[in-house]
Amino acid sequence: MFINGKFTDGKSTESIPVINPATEEMLDEVPRGTKADAHAAVAAASASFLDWKRAPANERAAALHQVAAKIRAHHDEIVELLTKEEGKPIPENDEEVWWVEETFDYYAELARHETGRVIPPGDPDQFNFVRKEPYGVVACIVPWNFPLLLLAWKMAPALAAGNTVVIKPSELTSLSTLKIVEVACGHLPPGVVNVVTGYGPEVGEPLVEHPDVPVIAFTGSLDIGKRIASLAGPMMKKLHLELGGKDPMVIAPDIDLNVAVSAAAYAALLNAGQVCTSTERVYVHESIFGQFSEKLVDFVSKLRLGNGLEEGTDIGPMIRNKFREKVELQVAEAVNAGAKILTGGKRPANMTRGFFLEPSVITGVDHSMRLMREETFGPVIPLMPYKDFDEAIHLVNDCQYGLGASLMTHDAKLVKQYFEQVKAGTIWINDPLTDNFAGPFGGMKMSGLGRELGQEGIDEYYEVKHVHWDIEGKLKEFWYPY
Ligand code: NAD
C-alpha cells in the first residue's frame, strides 16, 4: 500500500494473491488492507489537503504533467504488467496507458484555466462571484476492467482541482495501480495520493463511511453502487457513480455490411466483452438480418483467443472463472428459452489454463431473457431484427441502463432521431466506444450519477460557493423595522 508518501503493509497481516487470468498463475501478492489502514490513509490525505488546495494552479499543473511524463517513461513496463494482471491484449493496454498519460496532461491544463466566474451584481456597489473549491479527500474506488484509465479519470481531475485522494483499487488488479504510484507520484507531497489495497467491505466501506471523506468517486457494478449510495446518502456525501450498462447498437439498412460487422464485433468483444460500454444488444434491420448474421459469424469465428502478451491475440481471457460462469448461465438460460448459438459460446477445448470463453453470436433472443436485460460482461453478441426505426428506438430504450448507445448509418434523419430520443450518456454514430478527453462520459438511468472527462469531469470535484460582497456596506432600507 502507499500511505503518507511511503510504501507499507500497514496493519495488514494477510495478503491477497494477484492471479494472471491467462495462465491462472500467481503473479504477486498485495496486503489485505484493514479499516485502520483506510483510516490512516484518510488522515494523511486530510493533513495534506490544505497545502495542496492552496498551491497555485500552475504548480499543481506542473506536478500533474510530471506524473504524465513519468508514466510515459515507464509505458511499456506498465502495459506488460497490466496485460498480465487484467488479461486483455497488449494493443488494448497500450491504448489504456496512453489514455492515462493524456488524461493527466489534459486536466493539468484544464485546472489552471478558471476556478469560477464573476456574475452581475444586483447593485452597482456590490461584487458577486462564484468560487469553485475542492472538497477535501476523495475516495477513488476502481474496478478491474480498465483499472488505470478509470483511476486516471478520477484521480487527475480530483488532484487538479485541489483535492487529495485515497485510492482503493480492485483486489484483482492492484499491482498496476501500485506501479503507477511508485514510478510517477514520488514528487507529490506525502499524503496527496494514497493507495489502500484490499477488499471492498474491509477497505472500501470504511472509506465510504469516513466523516472526513466528502466525495466518493466509484466505478463498478450496480449492486455495489447501490450499497455505497445507501451508506453515503445519509451522510450527504457527494456521490460520483459510474455503474453498469447494457449498451445497444442499431444497424440501419443503408450501412456497408463489412463496416457494420467489424464495428459490432469490436464494440461487443473488446476486452472479452468486459467493458461497461460493451455492445451487449445488436438490433439489425430485418432486410439485412440474414446477411449481417452470416458475415458476423464468419468474422467472429476467425478471431484468435490467447494470452494477451502474445502477438496475434485478438481476445484474451475473462478476468475470473466466476465471471465466465455468469456469462455461460445467461447464455444457457437464453438457449433454454429458444435462442440459438450460431458460433462460439464454449470454453476452448485446446486451452486448459486460463479463463477463456469463445466469443459467440446468438439469435432468437428477446427482451424476456436476462441475456437481453441484465449486464452480461462477456464475449457474447445477441442479435435481434427490427422492422422500422421507431421499433428500434423502443427496443434501445427498453432497458434499466443508459450508459452508451451506438448507431451505424449515414442517414441523417435517423441519426437525429436517435440522439434526440435515446436515453444514454454517450451516443456513438458509426464509431462505437470512442471517447474524447473533452467529451463527458457517464450514464443516465441506472448507469449512474455524474460524468468523467471534459469540463464536467473536473466540475465533479469542485463545490461552488457564491460570494456576495456589498462594498459600501451602508444601512439598507429593507432591513427592520418594516
Ligand atoms: P465491483 O462493483 O464488484 O467492484 C468495484 C470496486 O468496488 C472494487 O474496487 C471493489 O473492491 C469495490 N467494492 C466492492 N464492494 C464494496 C463495498 N461494499 N464498498 C466499497 N467498495 C466496494 O465491480 P467490478 O467487478 O470490479 O467491475 C465491473 C463492473 O464495473 C461492471 O458492472 C461494469 O459495468 C462496471 N464499470 C462501469 C464503468 C462506467 O464507467 N460506468 C466502467 C467500467 C466498469
pLDDT tens by residue, 107-154: 999 999 999 999 999 999 999 999 999 999 999 999 999 999 999 999
Cα 286 to ligand 1 centre (Å) = 37
Q: How confident is the model at residue 442 (pLDDT cuts 50, 70, 90)?
A: very high
The model scores a pTM over 0.95: yes
Mean of pLDDT values over 400-411: 98
Of 290, 286, 294, which Cα lies nearest the Cα of 342?
294
| Ligand 1 atom nearest to CA at 208 | 20
User: Which residue type, as a one-letter code, is found at position 406?
Assistant: S
Q: How confident is the model at residue 51 (pLDDT cuts 50, 70, 90)?
A: very high
pLDDT at 41: 98
Q: How confident is the model at residue 293 (pLDDT cuts 50, 70, 90)?
A: very high
Dihedral pair phi/psi, residue 251, rounded to 5°: -105, 115
Please name each of the domains of the chain with its CATH number.
2-243+447-467 (3.40.605.10), 247-429 (3.40.309.10)
| Furthest CA-CA distance within the chain | 89
Dihedral pair phi/psi, residue 197, rounded to 5°: -85, 155
Residue nearest to atom 12 of ligand 1 (CA): 200
Mean of pLDDT values over 359-383: 98
Cα 144 to ligand 1 centre (Å) = 8
- Distance between CA atoms of 75 and 388, rounded to whole angstroms? 47
pLDDT at 55: 97
Q: Is 222 helix (H, G, I), strand (E, B) or coil?
A: helix
pLDDT at 242: 98
Residue nearest to atom 30 of ligand 1 (CA): 220
Sign (positive or negative) of CA dihedral 401, 403, 408, 414: positive
Whether the bond into 143 is cis, omega within 30 of 0? no
Cα 221 to ligand 1 centre (Å) = 5
Cα 445 to ligand 1 centre (Å) = 17
For residue 55, the number of C-alpha atoms closer than 13 Å in the C-beta half-sphere is 22
Q: Which of 276, 324, 444 to mutate to test ligand 1, by most ligand atoms within 8 A of the CB atom?
A: 276
Q: Which of 141, 196, 231 to mutate to test ligand 1, by most ligand atoms within 8 A of the CB atom?
A: 141
Mean of pLDDT values over 256-264: 98
| Per-residue model confidence as pLDDT tens digits over 159-175 | 999 999 999 999 999 99
Residue nearest to atom 18 of ligand 1 (CA): 201
Cα 224 to ligand 1 centre (Å) = 7
Q: What is the dihedral of CA 251, 253, 255, 256, to 10 degrees?
A: 110
Take residue 220 and report the three cell numbers written for it.
Answer: 463498478
> Within 18-116, where are the H helices?
35-54, 57-73, 75-86, 90-110
pLDDT at 240: 97
Angle between helices 147-160 and 57-73 (to 10 degrees): 160
Count, residues in the chain: 482
pLDDT at 72: 98
Q: What is the dihedral of CA 334, 340, 341, 346, to 10 degrees?
A: 50
pLDDT at 365: 98
| Ligand 1 atom nearest to CA at 198 | 11
- Is 242 catalytic? The answer is yes
The catalytic position among 85, 86, 92, 242 is 242
Cα 438 to ligand 1 centre (Å) = 24
CA 220 from centre of chain: 8
Sign (positive or negative) of CA dihedral 397, 403, 408, 411: positive
Q: How confident is the model at residue 369 (pLDDT cuts 50, 70, 90)?
A: very high
Which one-letter DSSP state was computed for residue 385? Answer: E
Residue partners of 42: CB distance under 8 A and separation at least 6: 137, 166, 207, 210, 212, 213
Grid-cell match 464573476, residue found: 118
Grid-cell match 511499456, residue found: 76
pLDDT at 396: 98
pLDDT at 8: 98
Take residue 450 and report the three cell numbers written for it.
Answer: 455524474
Take residue 180 and report the three cell numbers written for it.
Answer: 503507477
| Per-residue model confidence as pLDDT tens digits over 417-427 | 999 999 999 99
| Per-residue model confidence as pLDDT tens digits over 202-235 | 999 999 999 999 999 999 999 999 999 999 999 9
Whether the bond into 481 is cis, omega within 30 of 0? yes
Residue nearest to atom 28 of ligand 1 (CA): 220
Q: How confident is the model at residue 466 (pLDDT cuts 50, 70, 90)?
A: very high
Residue nearest to atom 31 of ligand 1 (CA): 221
| Per-residue model confidence as pLDDT tens digits over 65-83 | 999 999 999 999 999 999 9
Of 147, 156, 199, 145, which Cα lies nearest the Cα of 176?
147
Contact 418, 440 (CB under 8 A): no
- Distance between CA atoms of 48 and 192, rounded to whole angstroms? 6
The neighbouring-strand residues paired with 283 are 250, 384
Of 338, 301, 434, 320, which Cα lies nearest the Cα of 377?
320
Q: Which of 99, 151, 224 to mutate to test ligand 1, by most ligand atoms within 8 A of the CB atom?
A: 224
Mean of pLDDT values over 297-311: 98
What rounded mean pLDDT belongs to the chain?
98
Angle between helices 90-110 and 75-86 (to 10 degrees): 120
Q: How confident is the model at residue 413 (pLDDT cuts 50, 70, 90)?
A: very high
Of 358, 247, 230, 237, which Cα lies nearest the Cα of 301?
358
| Ligand 1 atom nearest to CA at 172 | 26
Residues with CB under 6 A from ligand 1: 141-146, 150, 168, 170-171, 199-201, 204-205, 208, 219-221, 224, 227-228, 242-245, 276, 375, 377, 403, 443, 447-448
Q: How confident is the model at residue 280 (pLDDT cuts 50, 70, 90)?
A: very high
Of 266, 401, 405, 316, which Cα lies nearest the Cα of 82?
316
